Amino acid sequence: MSAPGEAVITGVALLLIGFGVWVIYRHRLERLRERAASALAGYRPVAPLPLVTLRLGMTGPHVRYWQEHLRWLGYAVQVDGAFGAETLRATQAFQRRCGLADDGMVGPATWLFGHAPLRPHRRKG
């Protein structure tokens, strides 16, 4: 049987080893969080996809949300909640950029591509 002093020394040694492991992994976790934050910089959080198809002439909060999203992606659109010619042109440009049919309607495929993790489109000039 080991002496009580050996048990204390073993316990302290295990405690110090555990603390050392904790310090190392805490540092790695902080670095991982920093890398994840920098990788996600510029991405817009994903919102639930609306189940409505937007088209020319429509108005309302879904149109406004789509316009805000187009602006965030870098398209020059006035956010007024009305799907007019300006929103149509920006939507068609976005659809071409994503390889979709540029029909100007914001249906399921356009909503899905609109919420894919794309980096904002930078306007030239």
The 3-class secondary structure across 18-77, one letter per residue, is HHHHHHHHHHHHHHHHHHHHHHHCCCCCCCCCCCCCECCCCECHHHHHHHHHHHHCCCCC
CATH of domain 46-125: 1.10.101.10
pTM over 0.75: no
Q: Show pLDDT as tens, one digit a residue, over the chain (125 residues).
A: 567 778 778 877 777 787 777 777 777 777 777 777 666 666 655 556 667 899 999 999 999 999 998 998 889 999 999 999 999 999 999 999 988 999 999 998 888 887 765 555 555 44
Domain ranges of the chain: 1-41, 46-125
